[in-house]
């Protein structure tokens, strides 16, 4: 694996930000997949020119590298730049200021060829257009799998649950839900003191220096949903990421993808790729979060069995005013607790289904992107109007998990809420497009006017307990915040210790 150096990467970024202000610069491109090959061919083809590279001049970390190795190496922290002839030293000196090595390794030509010279000989010569634009397009065989048709015929039902409190505690210990603090506490999250919201909330937020704005970032994907229904699952992956941004007070503006699948030569896998791409595309258009980059990893299999399709979505949003930044946890006793969005019996691919049944099956939760968009916009407007104290979306594990998580970082606070209908569905369903927010009691009228789908269900209390009541005022769950927090916070360290 190529070794990344975050400090060197930061220096490179700073150098490039200064470099782009120079009128000596003609073009610039980073080196990703296929290294020098893709970057040089793409730059030449887009410009309608050619390029000749002298590989003897390419800085190398090892002795005796072949032309093949140099052209395909994916070493990190590198950029390819084109500068005006005669002004190379300006760029070299600029890079030296940042402790970086910059070397002239070739020239632009007018023959539209990518030409490589190594040890005094031309070792490769090919049209840049062939490599960049005219590569053959492969139409793989796509076939809807039989399991998908079977799952679509299954009616939505609830998993059997006997003890609601014990089930909630067990769900909090699931690796997908449990606190990831053990992981992120091993890294510096302060970002040169620009961190506004550190790991643990819906999204990370950093300050844009010199402004009162912030950037919020998050990543999401539920591979179980993608496996059961790639198109719907693809929509959900984008929508949940956007929800996380909105809950942080940010307007979603862009997305990137990390597409991980099995072998595309298998018709059923290629169908998963096609359908998830369709879902992602539709969600990005509806939620106004265009894909601006990404990467693809195929043929991820173990003994010929593909991994669950996992198109992870990274989303970024802009916080227009840092005073609008919102976090997950309860803020003060007496605040009203609102649930935004109705709940349905939807457990296909859910955390509860996997835990109780030991497998996943059936239809995934449905999602209406127009409803999703409307609720996100309404909630964001309420946050920007400073009507919201805290916000989180409902995802894995459903309502009960979200309610507990809001209390975990709230010093000395708890909640008492009342839900209706089937307890299992109300507590653990993973119905989409839902949020759990708190609002100061004196602001509830203004909040109700902005967010039409919100229902007041309870109150933040000054007692560290989670009390959930059902129909006829029946107590469904009654437990201390600490007992739930201990299960949630200690799960991953315990799992790692048990496997050590």
Residue at a domain's end among 272, 302, 322 = 322
Cβ 363 vs Cβ 229: under 8 Å: yes
Q: Model-level pTM?
A: 0.89
> Could you tell me how far CA 141 lies from the centroid of its own chain?
29
Number of domains in the chain: 3
Q: What mean pLDDT comes out for the span 128-155?
A: 93
In a domain, 147, yes or no: no
Per-residue DSSP letter, 432: S
Per-residue DSSP letter, 54: E
pLDDT at 6: 85
Q: Are residue 274 and residue 347 in the same domain, yes or no?
A: no
230-287 pLDDT per residue, tens = 999 999 999 999 999 999 999 999 999 999 999 999 999 999 999 999 999 999 999 9
Q: Are residue 166 and residue 269 in the same domain, yes or no?
A: no
pLDDT at 406: 98
378-414 pLDDT per residue, tens = 999 999 999 999 999 999 999 999 999 999 999 999 9
Q: Which domain holds residue 497?
A: 156-184+328-500
In a domain, 1, yes or no: no
CATH number of the domain encompassing residue 267: 3.30.1330.10
pLDDT at 500: 59
Calculate the dihedral angle through the C-alpha atoms of 294, 300, 306, 312, rounding to the nearest 10 degrees. -30
In a domain, 81, yes or no: yes
pLDDT at 193: 80
| Euclidean distance between CA atoms 3 and 280, whole angstroms | 31
Pick from 68, 119, 373, 363: nearest CA to 231 = 363
Q: Mean pLDDT across the chain, nearest whole number?
A: 95
Residue at a domain's end among 68, 97, 132 = 132
CATH number of the domain encompassing residue 430: 3.90.650.10
304-313 pLDDT per residue, tens = 999 999 999 9
In a domain, 143, yes or no: no
Q: Are residue 205 and residue 299 in the same domain, yes or no?
A: yes
- Judge whether residue 216 has pLDDT over 90: yes
pLDDT at 175: 95
8-39 pLDDT per residue, tens = 999 999 999 999 999 999 999 998 888 999 99
Q: Are residue 224 and residue 285 in the same domain, yes or no?
A: yes
352-381 pLDDT per residue, tens = 999 999 999 999 999 999 999 999 999 999
Per-residue DSSP letter, 333: T
426-439 pLDDT per residue, tens = 999 999 999 999 99
pLDDT at 95: 96
Q: What mean pLDDT comes out for the span 150-170?
A: 97
Q: Are residue 387 and residue 493 in the same domain, yes or no?
A: yes
Q: Are residue 170 and residue 80 in the same domain, yes or no?
A: no
What angle do the packed helices 164-172 and 481-499 form, to 10 degrees? 50
SS3 467: strand
């Amino acid at each position: 694996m190529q070794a990344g150096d975050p400090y060197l990467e930061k220096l490179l970024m700073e150098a490039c930000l200064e470099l782009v202000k120079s009128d000596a610069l003609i073009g610039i491109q980073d080196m990703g997949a296929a290294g020098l090959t893709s970057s040089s061919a793409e730059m030449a083809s887009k410009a309608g020119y050619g390029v000749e590279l002298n590989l003897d001049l390419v800085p190398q970390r090892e002795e005796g590298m072949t032309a093949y190795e140099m052209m395909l190496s994916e070493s990190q922290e590198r950029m390819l730049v084109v500068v005006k002839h005669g002004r190379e030293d300006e760029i070299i000196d600029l890079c030296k200021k940042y402790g970086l090595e910059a070397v002239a390794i070739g020239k632009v030509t007018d023959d539209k060829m990518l030409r490589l010279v190594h040890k005094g000989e031309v070792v490769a010569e090919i049209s840049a257009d062939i490599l960049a634009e005219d590569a053959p397009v492969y139409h793989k065989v796509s076939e809807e799998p039989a399991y998908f048709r079977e799952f679509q015929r299954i009616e939505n039902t609830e998993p059997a649950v006997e003890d609601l409190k014990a089930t909630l505690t067990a769900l909090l210990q699931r690796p997908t839900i449990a606190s990831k603090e053990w992981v992120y506490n091993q890294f510096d999250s302060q970002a040169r003191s620009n961190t506004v919201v550190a790991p643990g909330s819906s999204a990370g937020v950093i300050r844009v220096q010199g402004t009162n704005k912030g950037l919020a970032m998050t990543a999401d994907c539920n591979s179980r949903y993608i496996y059961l229904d790639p198109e719907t699952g693809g929509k959900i992956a984008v929508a949940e990421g956007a929800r996380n941004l909105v809950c942080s007070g940010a307007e979603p503006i862009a997305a990137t993808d990390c597409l991980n699948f099995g072998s595309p030569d298998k018709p059923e896998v290629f169908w998963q790729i096609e359908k998830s791409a369709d879902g992602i595309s539709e969600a990005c258009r509806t939620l106004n979060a265009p894909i601006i980059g990404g990467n693809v990893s195929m043929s991820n299999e173990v003994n010929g069995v593909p991994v669950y399709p996992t198109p992870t979505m990274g989303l970024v949003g802009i916080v227009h005013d840092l005073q609008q930044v919102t976090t997950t946890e309860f803020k003060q006793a007496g605040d009203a607790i609102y649930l935004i969005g109705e709940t349905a019996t939807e457990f296909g691919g859910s955390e509860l289904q996997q835990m109780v049944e030991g497998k996943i099956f059936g239809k995934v939760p449905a999602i209406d992107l127009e409803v999703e968009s409307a609720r996100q916009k309404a909630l964001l407007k309420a946050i920007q109007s400073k009507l919201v104290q805290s916000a989180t979306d409902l995802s894995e594990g459903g309502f009960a998990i979200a309610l507990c998580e809001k209390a975990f970082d709230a010093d000395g606070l708890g909640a008492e809420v009342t839900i209706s209908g089937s307890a299992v569905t109300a507590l653990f369903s993973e119905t989409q497009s839902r949020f759990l927010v708190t609002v100061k009691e004196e602001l509830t009228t203004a909040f109700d006017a902005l967010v039409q789908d919100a229902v007041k269900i309870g109150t933040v209390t000054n007692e560290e307990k989670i009390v959930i009541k059902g129909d006829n005022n029946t107590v469904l769950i009654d437990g201390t915040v600490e007992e739930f927090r201990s299960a949630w916070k200690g799960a991953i360290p315990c799992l790692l210790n048990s496997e050590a």
